Amino acid sequence: MPPRHSSSSNASGKTATAPPPRRVRVLLPLPLDRAYDYLDELEPPLKEGDFVRVPFAGRERTGCVWSCDPTAEGTGGEAVDAKKLKQVIARRDAPPLPADIARFIDWAAAYTCAPLGSMLRMAMSVPKALDPAAGMTGYVRAKTTPEDLRMTAARKRILETASESTPLGAAELARRAETGAGVVRGLAKAGALLEVACAPPTPFATPDTERAGPTLSADQERAAETLCRKVDGDGFSVTLVDGVTGSGKTEVYFEAVAAAVKRGRQVLVLVPEIALAGQWLERFTERFGVAPAVWHSELAQGKRRATWRAAADHGAAVVVGARSALFLPFADLGLIIVDEEHEAAYKQEEGVIYHARDMAVVRGREAACPVVLVSATPSLETTVNVEEGRYERVHLPDRHGGAIMPEVTAIDMRSQGPETGQWLSPSLREALAAVFARGEQAMLFLNRRGYAPLTLCRTCGHRFSCPNCTAWLVTHRAPQGLICHHCGYRLPPPESCPQCGGEDTLATCGPGVERLAEEAGGLFPDQRLAVIASDMAGGAQAAAEVLSRVRDHEIDLLIGTQIIAKGHHFPGLTLVGVVDADLGLAGGDLRAAERTFQLLHQVAGRAGRESRPGRVFLQTYMPEHPVMEALVSGQRDAFLEAEATQRQAFALPPFGRLAAVIVSGPDAATVEATARRLRRAAPQIKEVEILGPAPAPLTVLHGRTRWRLLLKAPRRSNVPGLMKSWLGAIKIPTHVRVRIDIDPYSFL
Ligand code: ADP
Ligand code: ZN
């Protein structure tokens, strides 16, 4: 076998054979498709996963050792002559990236067609976490006390308190000895105490798994046992916890969390909207005596650093987070929970496009740990996986404590609607009045921010639209103005029509939550009313405050967008009014019906969660639509089945695969031409269909024109492979961007 590398000493064979220089392949957290080779002359030699500093493009950068055997097959990239390679500068003083997350990154990059380096970047999102933790000086007692030591009572107490093995910080040692830290330092100087460097204590306390949870019902017990068995069994599995809202799904999976923590493993809980998870955090704290570590993108830098590090060195047993928490480098992941697995918020649409629920399953597979998906309205994807035996299912059919599911009534707006300019039908008004008369609470749901979605001129018909996007400007009252919900473009409230100059000719059309609040406030002036929307002043924190005031019954009527739909438990809430149940059904989204069902079911589930029964009213212009019928009759499974039959007939997901290509750029002609060229370069494969190109429904966004193509393929095809060879075949002009969205959820 020829030597991999030849040097003069090797060739002459006279001197002892010098070992060939070690070569490592280093992946950088940059939008690059491949890793690069470097020479490793460090001692001890580098290992896979080590974080290293390397020279790259004239700069020093931190990357991760992706392979220590880069000349092996299948590692990608050709072998570069060792003489041309640069050396690794240094190893970073941080725990190496675990092998399971490295495999996950490889898989996720290949699947989503994202650059490998961009995936790594998500796992290295806190560069500061790779710096050595700011150490602490601890003190231990020296074996012998210097003979000439001047002894005082305080010094004596310190020496008695200090141990020979467990270092304590100066402040702590002084506190225990009831003296000052100066005395500790004096003893160190005199040689009676030794200074030792020690790691700072982890800021995350371990959950107390000995605390008793609630007594579970028989169904809950069975479900919890199944989950705990998975946790104890070691190895990958996926289980769906399917149970109506209020059936105790959270209590049940808390048991699995406890089981994993008891075994000394780490747990990741994904929630769709961490900023609003206040109630969840309270419950966790009540159950386990400590708060979990929290992870999301708006976390302060220091907290991000601490949490990343605590995941890596097992300093945190439980991390609850938004989808990006999947990329935390857990040292010993033993369980992943995906709460509200059907939520669209799990699909990341910016940057690297991925679906966190699907990726959680892969993360679990690579970590060889159980994954638990939780929902009252499981996605069709998950439902089919259960039916086909890939996922197991545990079922909680009843609400806890005998609370009954709310009665759902459709209000036919064609015959029972309100007068023009009003949005609450007479029956809904009556129901609200009755609830308030009984001292109970109500909620009105309208998934539309602002005051009115459209403003137009009654004289010339001019409509206010965004100059940067294909979108109407939404009128807002607080603060006042016309706003584009896509790019944030803003106009002050207009006094006249910019087209015909007409004054007092402008009319606002349709309701947003602000307008609804105006109407409700007029009808029920004595009730305490609050509005919640994702764009409210004060952000998520303000929203969370309102939610807790609702729970404490300081609010009688809550009006809000979809952020009020999720998971909140309001004991006194007995009426939910869905103001425009049809809103989500418009547009060409293949999941429109499924999503509307999930969302409205979730909203409806807020009503009557305790002893008093709840009622739900759906205002709709199409009460005969299958979604409305399913909500009214409570026949979720029949609806899902019908939905599945339809999707199957058209080979749509989950029975077929889709991938979207979005071409965008500032110049409309170049974008269109590129989209058409892409079409001509498309793979010509039987059973693979290309739809488009066509202008995207949101044709202009942020000033960029957008065109879409859609690839439709049979379920078992290698879609990422198809996409790679397709897009690799053509050169994309500068200023034009082509994005691939595997398994698209948005078709805008
Ligand atoms: P889900 O997650 O299915 O919506 P939760 O776990 O939030 O249901 O439970 C709904 C409410 O019922 C919560 O307030 C919860 O604490 C309570 N609950 C559920 N199961 C039990 C139980 N076995 N004992 C006492 N309270 C329970
Ligand atoms: Zn805009």
Chain segment 352-378, per-residue pLDDT in tens: 999 999 999 999 999 999 999 999 999
Query: Cα–Cα distance between 39 and 289 in angstroms, integer?
Result: 49
Q: Which of 41-50, 484-493, 517-526, 559-568 has the lowest mean pLDDT?
A: 559-568
From residue 644, how far is each of 48, 631, 653 by CA, in Å?
44, 17, 9
Q: 679: domain CATH number?
A: 3.30.70.600
Q: What mean pLDDT comes out for the span 109-127?
A: 96
Query: Cα–Cα distance between 361 and 367 in angstroms, integer?
Result: 10
Q: Which ligand is nearest to the CA of 486?
A: 2
Query: Cα–Cα distance between 561 and 268 in angstroms, integer?
Result: 28
Q: What mean pLDDT comes out for the span 398-412?
A: 89
Co-location of 522 and 424 in the same domain = yes
Dist. CA 488 → ligand 2 center (Å): 6
Q: Which residues surround ligand 2, an ion (CB under 5 A)?
A: 466, 468-469, 484, 486-487, 489
**Residue 29 covered by a domain:** yes
pLDDT score of 520 more than 70: yes
**Residue 229 covered by a domain:** yes
Dist. CA 471 → ligand 2 center (Å): 7
Dist. CA 490 → ligand 2 center (Å): 9
Q: What is the dihedral of CA 107, 110, 115, 118, to 10 degrees?
A: -20
Q: What mean pLDDT comes out for the span 624-632?
A: 95
Q: Which ligand is nearest to the CA of 464?
A: 2
Co-location of 166 and 295 in the same domain = no
Structure tokens at 125: 């999102």
Dist. CA 351 → ligand 1 center (Å): 37
Dist. CA 707 → ligand 2 center (Å): 17
- Report how many domains make up the chain: 5
- Closest-CA residue, ligand 1 atom 5, reads 248
Identify which has the larger pLDDT, 624 or 537: 624
Hey, which of 251, 339, 570, 601 would you mutate to test ligand 1's pocket, going by the most ligand atoms within 8 Å of its Cβ? 251
**Residue 520 covered by a domain:** yes
**Residue 53 covered by a domain:** yes
Dist. CA 190 → ligand 2 center (Å): 70
Q: What mean pLDDT comes out for the span 320-332?
A: 96
Q: Which of 298-302, 390-394, 575-579, 627-631 has the lowest mean pLDDT?
A: 298-302
Dist. CA 698 → ligand 2 center (Å): 10
Q: What is the DSSP letter of 341?
A: T
Co-location of 347 and 248 in the same domain = yes
Query: Cα–Cα distance between 704 and 736 in angstroms, integer?
Result: 9
At residue 15, the pLDDT reads 53
Specify which residues 138 forms β-bridges with: 169, 196
Instruction: State which ligand 1 atom lies nearest to the alpha carbon of 243.
Output: 3
Task: Please report which confidence band the pLDDT of residue 4 belongs to, taking 50, 70 and 90 as the band edges.
Answer: very low
Look at residues 89, 124, 159 and tell me which one is the last residue of a structural domain.
124
- Closest-CA residue, ligand 1 atom 18, reads 248
pTM equals 0.87
Task: Please report which confidence band the pLDDT of residue 16 belongs to, taking 50, 70 and 90 as the band edges.
Answer: low
- Closest-CA residue, ligand 1 atom 25, reads 214
pLDDT score of 17 more than 70: no
Q: 386: domain CATH number?
A: 3.40.50.300
Dist. CA 210 → ligand 1 center (Å): 19
Look at residues 75, 100, 124 and tell me which one is the last residue of a structural domain.
124
Dist. CA 484 → ligand 2 center (Å): 5
At residue 13, the pLDDT reads 44
Co-location of 602 and 524 in the same domain = yes
Chain segment 672-729, per-residue pLDDT in tens: 999 999 999 998 998 999 999 999 999 999 999 999 999 999 999 999 999 989 998 8
Q: What mean pLDDT comes out for the span 298-311?
A: 90
**Residue 463 covered by a domain:** no
Domain that holds residue 39: 23-124
**Residue 490 covered by a domain:** no
- Closest-CA residue, ligand 1 atom 15, reads 248
The CA radius of gyration of the chain, in Å to the nearest whole number, is 30
Percent of the chain with pLDDT strictly greater than 90: 72
Q: 62: domain CATH number?
A: 3.40.1440.60
Specify which residues 169 forms β-bridges with: 138
Q: Are 257 and 318 in contact (CB under 8 A)?
A: yes
Co-location of 326 and 236 in the same domain = yes
At residue 505, the pLDDT reads 93
Co-location of 352 and 231 in the same domain = yes
Co-location of 625 and 699 in the same domain = no
Which among 559, 638, 563, 631 is positioned nearest to 406, based on CA atoms?
Answer: 631
At residue 702, the pLDDT reads 94
Q: What mean pLDDT comes out for the span 178-194?
A: 90
Query: Cα–Cα distance between 677 and 340 in angstroms, integer?
Result: 41
Look at residues 198, 228, 245 and tell me which one is the last residue of a structural domain.
198
Q: Are 474 and 512 in contact (CB under 8 A)?
A: yes
**Residue 75 covered by a domain:** yes
Co-location of 394 and 408 in the same domain = no
Specify which residues 62 forms β-bridges with: 53
Which among 676, 742, 671, 659 is positioned nearest to 700, based on CA atoms?
Answer: 671
Q: What is the dihedral of CA 558, 559, 561, 567, to 10 degrees?
A: 20
Q: Are 27 and 120 in contact (CB under 8 A)?
A: yes
Taking CB atoms within 8 Å and a gap of at least 24, the contacts of 418-425 are 422/519, 423/511, 423/515, 423/516, 423/519, 423/579, 423/580, 423/619, 424/516, 424/519, 424/520, 424/523, 424/577, 424/579, 425/619
pLDDT score of 149 more than 80: yes
Dist. CA 455 → ligand 2 center (Å): 15
Specify which residues 490 forms β-bridges with: 483
Which among 370, 383, 326 is positioned nearest to 235, based on CA atoms?
Answer: 370
Query: Cα–Cα distance between 186 and 731 in angstroms, integer?
Result: 71
User: Alpha helix (H) ranges present in 234-355?
Assistant: 249-262, 278-288, 301-312
At residue 11, the pLDDT reads 43
Instruction: State which ligand 1 atom lies nearest to the alpha carbon of 244.
Output: 3
Instruction: State which ligand 1 atom lies nearest to the alpha carbon of 283.
Output: 16
Co-location of 317 and 350 in the same domain = yes
At residue 1, the pLDDT reads 39
Hey, which of 285, 400, 611 would you mutate to test ligand 1's pocket, going by the most ligand atoms within 8 Å of its Cβ? 400
Instruction: State which ligand 1 atom lies nearest to the alpha carbon of 217.
Output: 23
Taking CB atoms within 8 Å and a gap of at least 24, the contacts of 200-204 are 200/133, 200/134, 200/135, 200/136, 202/306, 202/310, 202/313, 202/315, 202/316, 203/306, 203/310, 203/315, 204/290, 204/292, 204/293, 204/306, 204/307, 204/310, 204/315, 204/316, 204/317
Q: Which ligand is nearest to the CA of 704?
A: 2
Mean predicted lDDT score pLDDT of the chain: 91
Co-location of 428 and 562 in the same domain = yes
Instruction: State which ligand 1 atom lies nearest to the alpha carbon of 214.
Output: 24
Q: Which ligand is nearest to the CA of 255?
A: 1
Co-location of 261 and 375 in the same domain = yes
Instruction: State which ligand 1 atom lies nearest to the alpha carbon of 220.
Output: 23
Q: Which of 205-219, 322-336, 605-619 has the lowest mean pLDDT?
A: 605-619
Dist. CA 178 → ligand 1 center (Å): 47
At residue 73, the pLDDT reads 54
Residue ranges around ligand 1 (CB below 6 Å)? 214-217, 220, 243, 245-251, 400, 569
Q: Which ligand is nearest to the CA of 702?
A: 2
Q: What mean pLDDT comes out for the span 386-390?
A: 96
Dist. CA 518 → ligand 1 center (Å): 35
Structure tokens at 192: 């009676």
At residue 567, the pLDDT reads 64
At residue 540, the pLDDT reads 78
Percent of the chain with pLDDT strictly greater than 70: 95
Co-location of 373 and 239 in the same domain = yes
- Closest-CA residue, ligand 1 atom 20, reads 248
Instruction: State which ligand 1 atom lies nearest to the alpha carbon of 250.
Output: 6
Q: What mean pLDDT comes out for the span 28-35?
A: 95
Chain segment 255-286, per-residue pLDDT in tens: 999 999 999 999 999 999 887 788 899 999 99
**Residue 465 covered by a domain:** no
